[in-house]
Chain A
């Protein structure tokens, strides 16, 4: 038996979890490109270092984003991955697929690329991994024929994403799928043609459980929420208790605002104290339902560490009703992007700009009123800026 050329990667074929090495080898049966990827990866495992050169600008006609250039630093050894570019394909919102669409995507990729993909990338796109420069445009043409378009990359609006929302979840306070799709379609130009200081991410979660990590990862976070009393079905509360749920200990005692009491077998909720954290509803979906007035909280500024440290998004609109065609929401996005575009430095994310110039300046620029829901507490330092018109009033 011939000695394996990939003794290190072979060790990742065993074990119970599905193996990416098996998938690369499967693709390598048909594609020399996948075979060279496997061999180059083996070299990385041996050398403990990546073997891709820095960047490279490639693209399709009319777009400035959606394709990531990638070149091997050892084309002498692995000529078939000399160029190994990525194409980001905007996923159907909520990552729902009918298999004919998915098969079509696979056929296009077998024709033009390595036969390897990510389902999906962290931002949400279906990632087609590895093609040559001459295949990029024909691949794009075939993708659009199949009904798919590219996603965002670089200093553009990145592919917006949304949780499963009303597609399956009883906790959806807003139509996360429709909002995301509407925003995606309305802002196509911003996705395909980078024109911002840096990347801009929009993520829509239909309830405070935030299944797409919107507060952690989006410059513009939309989180479904509600007003009004949590609706209680006391019969179902009793049924949960009978099924073994310790309502006092697991529900009431873990309520962060201590706004619930177990009165005999019934639950009582002091709704004024509730911060809508979802804990009780998560545990008893049959018995507890959100209040009836639904809308969204809008937060901005979330990002990973580069450059000035990671930020979590900050509340700027505590409650916004969201009904199609979502003009109020999209208009706010545009006002924010205009301001950021005007004042942001190169590679400065929205949150960093707000931190640099002040929330006060941001709020005035985009026309939002200051409200107590924006802060955990008012400032503790006396370094207060006043607007010029405030001072004139004082002096007179």
Chain B
């Protein structure tokens, strides 16, 4: 009989001795160079963390290579970050430089610390998901190749958190990112009336629609969709497989900006729509890469030190954001869901551009 409910391994068995000895007694940290964190404990002991990028989708042999590196330099201790980076945890300062050299020779980007662009949190896309409007790993790889320099340096006004979700389900915190890349559908799902009665529950399908676009057709044991009310969220497809929504010509990517999750200076906030639609253009999504790179570069050259993307836009105004980035403002940028009117100007206190 298999064991059940054993839970994850106890993290305490995974901690390097230097951490076990100084647990909860860290005093301060420094970032002497991109990708290297040095934490000093009250005891005076130091922990060196070397942060390296990863594609997130990794082979077991790749993980074994990472293990071999950790065994050579870190007595076999490492961790992963909440943004899918690898962190090699060292207690011996003398091993830092040789580790950095080995990582460089093996093609691991070292960085993602301080005022940098860290790894892009992302979802499964065409690799493994059943509702994607775009791929995830592909656009991330294409974009990180282009903005690599911002990962290995710390020259931005503040850190820029980028996340990608391949559909509105958002299996990643893209709704609160400095820059969010979000796959969207634009085709109204067409119920397959021969399958709906067999594979779908009518009431839950009706209830799945945020805008009330779906009505039950009890006589025919199916449902109908009011096209005008549908904003293609795909939630009906999640509960009713007989309503396919994917469409190569109309699926694509939207870009959102100015969200954050930390409480530093300003409250956590949602990302706001910058670009409603860009086409899926695999394998390198040039329109998406160019659009994101443009936003990063405009931010980098206009924001003040320590301003996050959203704080910069708040200061200069959304009017100027659209002017500076050259992104066209459209009626799609004006909210028409639930709490829409909260985002409308009810004053004369706006800017000309």
Residues of A whose CB lies within 8 Å of any CB of B are 8-9, 11-12, 14-24, 26-27, 34, 37, 41, 44-45, 47-55, 60-63, 70, 84, 86, 90-103, 105-107, 109-110, 115-124, 129-130, 137, 140-141, 144-145, 147-149, 161, 163-164, 166-170, 172, 175, 177, 181, 184-185, 188-189, 192, 208-217, 223, 250, 254-256, 276-279, 282-283, 285-286, 304-310, 312, 345-347
Residue interface mask B279-297, A partner, CB < 8 A = 1: 0101110000000000000
Which residues from B are CB-within-8-Å of A24?
57, 59
Which residues from B are CB-within-8-Å of A306?
168-170, 210, 233, 235, 238
* B49-A92 in contact (CB<8A): no
B162 interfacial by beta-carbon distance below 8 Å: no
- List 16 contacting pairs A-B, 8 Å CB cutoff, sorted by A: A16-B148, A17-B53, A45-B283, A47-B248, A50-B125, A50-B129, A52-B129, A61-B4, A91-B80, A92-B9, A94-B11, A98-B76, A102-B78, A117-B60, A129-B57, A277-B265
Which residues from A are CB-within-8-Å of B218?
none
B213 interfacial by beta-carbon distance below 8 Å: no
Which residues from A are CB-within-8-Å of B141?
12, 15, 17, 19-21
B3 touches which of A96, A110, A144, A310 (Cβ 8 Å): A144
Which residues from B are CB-within-8-Å of A44?
126, 135
Which residue of chain A has its CB nearest to the CB of B67?
A: A99
Q: How far is the CA of A301 from the CA of B148 in the complex (A)?
A: 36
Q: A18-B107, A120-B80 are in contact. Are A175 and B24 (CB under 8 A)?
A: yes
* B108-A18 in contact (CB<8A): yes
* A100-B23 in contact (CB<8A): no
Q: A16-B145, A101-B9, A144-B3 are in contact. Are A106 and B63 (CB under 8 A)?
A: yes
B39 interfacial by beta-carbon distance below 8 Å: yes
- If over half of B's interface residues share one DSSP class (helix, strand or loop), that class is named, otherwise mixed; here it is loop
Task: Write the nearest CB–CB distance from B20 to chain A, whole angstroms.
Answer: 9
B349 interfacial by beta-carbon distance below 8 Å: no
Q: How far is the CA of A308 from the CA of B264 in the complex (A)?
A: 28
* B251-A167 in contact (CB<8A): no
* B14-A92 in contact (CB<8A): yes
A91 touches which of B8, B13, B24, B127 (Cβ 8 Å): B8
Residue interface mask B35-65, A partner, CB < 8 A = 1: 0000100000001010001111111111110
Task: Write the nearest CB–CB distance from B15 to chain A, whole angstroms.
Answer: 6
Q: A70-B128, A210-B268 are in contact. Are A11 and B170 (CB under 8 A)?
A: no
* B137-A17 in contact (CB<8A): no
Q: Report the 10 A-B pairs with minimum CB-CB distance, sorted nearest first.
A: A15-B145, A54-B241, A166-B24, A17-B144, A304-B170, A208-B263, A48-B248, A44-B126, A99-B67, A106-B60
Which residue of chain B has its CB nearest to the CB of A175?
A: B24
Mark out the residues of chain B between 252 and 303 whose CB falls within 8 Å of any chain A CB in the assembled complex. Answer: 259, 261-266, 268-270, 280, 282-284
Residues of B whose CB lies within 8 Å of any CB of A are 2-11, 13-15, 19, 23-24, 26-29, 39, 47, 49, 53-64, 66-68, 70-71, 76-82, 84, 86, 107-109, 121, 123-132, 135, 137-138, 141-142, 144-145, 148, 151, 165, 168-176, 204, 207-208, 210, 233, 235, 237-239, 241, 246-249, 251, 259, 261-266, 268-270, 280, 282-284, 305-306, 337-339
B208 touches which of A49, A170, A307 (Cβ 8 Å): A307
Which residues from B are CB-within-8-Å of A211?
82, 262
Number of A-B residue pairs with CB-CB distance less than 8 Å in the complex they form: 357
Q: A20-B56, A50-B126 are in contact. Are A212 and B82 (CB under 8 A)?
A: yes
Q: How far is the CA of A37 from the CA of B10 in the complex (A)?
A: 34
A99 touches which of B23, B53, B76 (Cβ 8 Å): B76
B78 touches which of A97, A106, A209 (Cβ 8 Å): A97
B71 touches which of A99, A105, A277, A285 (Cβ 8 Å): A99
A86 touches which of B79, B128, B210, B305 (Cβ 8 Å): B128
Q: A18-B108, A144-B3, A306-B235 are in contact. List 20 more A-B contacts (CB 8 A).
A: A17-B148, A18-B109, A23-B59, A50-B130, A90-B8, A95-B79, A96-B77, A103-B64, A122-B123, A122-B171, A163-B82, A167-B11, A169-B26, A172-B24, A208-B262, A209-B263, A216-B259, A304-B165, A304-B171, A309-B339
Which residue of chain A has its CB nearest to the CB of B14?
A: A96
* B338-A92 in contact (CB<8A): no
Q: A103-B67, A120-B84, A144-B4 are in contact. Are A129 and B128 (CB under 8 A)?
A: yes
Which residue of chain B has its CB nearest to the CB of A189?
A: B5
Which residue of chain B has its CB nearest to the CB of A285?
A: B28
* A90-B7 in contact (CB<8A): yes
A23 touches which of B55, B251, B263 (Cβ 8 Å): B55
Task: Write the nearest CB–CB distance from A286 to chain B, whole angstroms.
Answer: 4
A97 touches which of B6, B14, B54, B208 (Cβ 8 Å): B14
Q: A115-B59, A122-B123 are in contact. Are A12 and B264 (CB under 8 A)?
A: no
Q: How far is the CA of A12 from the CA of B137 in the complex (A)?
A: 10
Q: How far is the CA of A172 from the CA of B246 in the complex (A)?
A: 44
* B262-A308 in contact (CB<8A): no
* A84-B128 in contact (CB<8A): yes
